[in-house]
């Protein structure tokens, strides 16, 4: 009986106080918990006008957004996306609640139902007392204290005693709905909601997974990350097959922005004294990222003020870079060589 899973969750409480000393996790989640929650999550999405897309379209979007290739022939019904180790395919089962233990932030791809979700405890997504009235007495009769295998006392916090559980539940439901409507239904209202309520998820799409196709999202993330600690995470992505991709879309967003935004971008780029931090890369990969960054940054500043075109390529005025650019056929960009030659010394003016 599926309700047995819910009973088990209630029996262990949401958290526990170990020997009146510190909080601990009292329940270990498994694939069974996720599978059971899917029954409710699927109904919630249907009730809130989420339009499921077909399997091929869903798989394509997952690859475009998260870089995860779904094998239609695989028997696995769910896949795990780790926001801290994006290339990991290990299937773990954690709620994204780090109030006790620090764990990786995870979402799950639900293949048969074509949506994504976090792992939730059932009380976090449904009014279980209303859905299953018998559980009221069941939970009331659960002992408030349990014992570990070592006979240590643990005082549990029952789900029914969480004062803001209803509000948390509503937030979880809205998060589920708006993530899926934005990613798979192109719902702009959902993107607005996520900007106000789910900043980490949205920023991670760009900074962790390199999703830059949505210019609205990209500009929002860019405007929030104009600092040296975060900007490089937007600028390029290292893929799971060790390729480095510079996102020229960043500069496309800059070029099409309003004048005030352009001024902010120009001010930041002029003040960025260091080249992008490209860690664990060979010289060829680093040179490519440096070259493309300097090229697109120069083109952007050139479109605003000719006087700032000498800011970038002089940092690469070295024979080893020039040889690498030539060997790479100037990255098949028609005017790369001319722009590099005209600006690398910081003193040769461009033709007027």
- Is the pLDDT assigned to residue 200 strictly greater than 60? yes
Cα 2 → chain centroid: 32
Given this model, what pLDDT does residue 99 score?
Answer: 67
Q: How far apart are CA 157 and CA 14, in angstroms?
A: 6
pLDDT 10s digits, 262-306 = 999 999 999 998 999 998 999 999 999 999 999 999 999 998 887
Given this model, what pLDDT does residue 347 score?
Answer: 56
Report the relative pairing of strands 153-157 and 145-147 from DSSP bridges: antiparallel
Contact 94, 28 (CB under 8 A): no
Structure tokens at 205: 């799409």
Q: How far apart are CA 263 and CA 91, in angstroms?
A: 45
Q: Which DSSP helix (H) or strand (E) runs through 180?
A: helix 165-185
- Is the pLDDT assigned to residue 196 strictly greater than 60? yes
- Is the pLDDT assigned to residue 12 strictly greater than 50? yes
pTM (2 d.p.): 0.94
Contact 126, 116 (CB under 8 A): no
What confidence category does residue 352 fall into, taking pLDDT thresholds of 50, 70 and 90?
A: very low
What confidence category does residue 117 fall into, taking pLDDT thresholds of 50, 70 and 90?
A: very high
- SS3 readout for 122-138: HHHCCCHHHHCCHHHHH
- Is the pLDDT assigned to residue 350 strictly greater than 80? no
Q: Strand locations in 93-235, DSSP E? A: 106-110, 115-117, 145-147, 153-157
What confidence category does residue 351 fall into, taking pLDDT thresholds of 50, 70 and 90?
A: very low
User: What residue has token string 């010394």?
Assistant: 345
**CB < 8 Å & 24+ apart, contacts of 324-332:** 324/283, 324/284, 324/287, 324/291, 325/287, 325/291, 328/284, 328/287, 328/288, 328/291, 331/288, 331/291, 331/292, 331/295
Instruction: Name the residue ranges covered by the structural domains of the chain.
Output: 3-170, 212-343
Strand partners, 110: 78, 115
Given this model, what pLDDT does residue 102 score?
Answer: 77
Mean pLDDT throughout 54-65?
Answer: 98
Contact 326, 305 (CB under 8 A): no
pLDDT 10s digits, 147-162 = 888 898 999 999 999 9
Judged by phi (left if over 0) then psi (alpha if -120 to 50, else beta), residue 330 lies in left
Mean pLDDT throughout 135-152?
Answer: 93
Closest CA to 331 of 275, 284, 276: 284
Contact 261, 301 (CB under 8 A): no
**CB count, 10 Å around CB of 307?**
10
Given this model, what pLDDT does residue 98 score?
Answer: 67
- Is the pLDDT assigned to residue 100 strictly greater than 90? no
């Amino acid at each position: 009986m599926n309700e047995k899973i819910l009973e088990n969750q209630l029996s262990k409480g949401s958290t526990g106080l170990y020997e009146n000393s510190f909080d601990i996790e009292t329940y270990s989640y498994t694939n069974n918990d996720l599978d059971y929650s899917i029954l409710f999550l699927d109904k919630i999405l249907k009730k809130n006008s989420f339009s499921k897309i077909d399997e091929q379209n869903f798989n394509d979007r997952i690859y475009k957004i998260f870089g995860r290739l779904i094998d239609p022939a695989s028997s696995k019904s769910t896949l795990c996306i780790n926001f801290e180790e994006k290339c990991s395919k290990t299937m773990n089962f954690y709620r994204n609640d780090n109030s006790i233990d620090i764990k990786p932030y995870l979402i799950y791809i639900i293949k048969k139902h074509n949506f994504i979700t976090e792992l939730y405890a059932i009380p976090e997504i449904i009014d279980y007392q209303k859905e299953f009235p018998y559980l009221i007495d069941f939970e009331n009769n659960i002992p408030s204290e349990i014992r570990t295998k070592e006979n240590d006392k643990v005082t549990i916090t029952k789900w029914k005693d969480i004062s803001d559980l209803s509000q948390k539940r509503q937030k979880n439901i809205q998060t589920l709905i708006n993530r899926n409507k934005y990613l798979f239904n192109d719902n702009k209202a959902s993107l607005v909601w996520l900007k106000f309520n789910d900043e980490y998820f949205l920023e991670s799409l760009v900074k962790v997974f390199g999703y830059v196709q949505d210019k609205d999202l990209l500009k929002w993330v860019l405007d929030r990350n104009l600092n040296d600690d975060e900007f490089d995470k937007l600028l390029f992505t290292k893929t799971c097959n060790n390729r480095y991709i510079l996102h020229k879309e960043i500069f496309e967003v800059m070029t099409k922005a309003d004048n005030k935004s352009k001024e902010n971008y120009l001010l930041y780029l002029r003040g960025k004294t260091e080249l992008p931090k490209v860690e664990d890369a060979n010289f060829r990969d680093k040179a490519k990222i440096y070259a493309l960054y300097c090229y697109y940054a120069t083109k952007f500043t050139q479109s605003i003020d000719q006087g700032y075109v000498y800011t970038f390529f002089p940092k690469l005025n070295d024979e080893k870079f020039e040889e690498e650019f030539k060997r790479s056929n100037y990255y098949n960009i028609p005017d790369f060589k001319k722009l590099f030659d005209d600006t690398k010394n910081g003193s040769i003016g461009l033709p007027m």
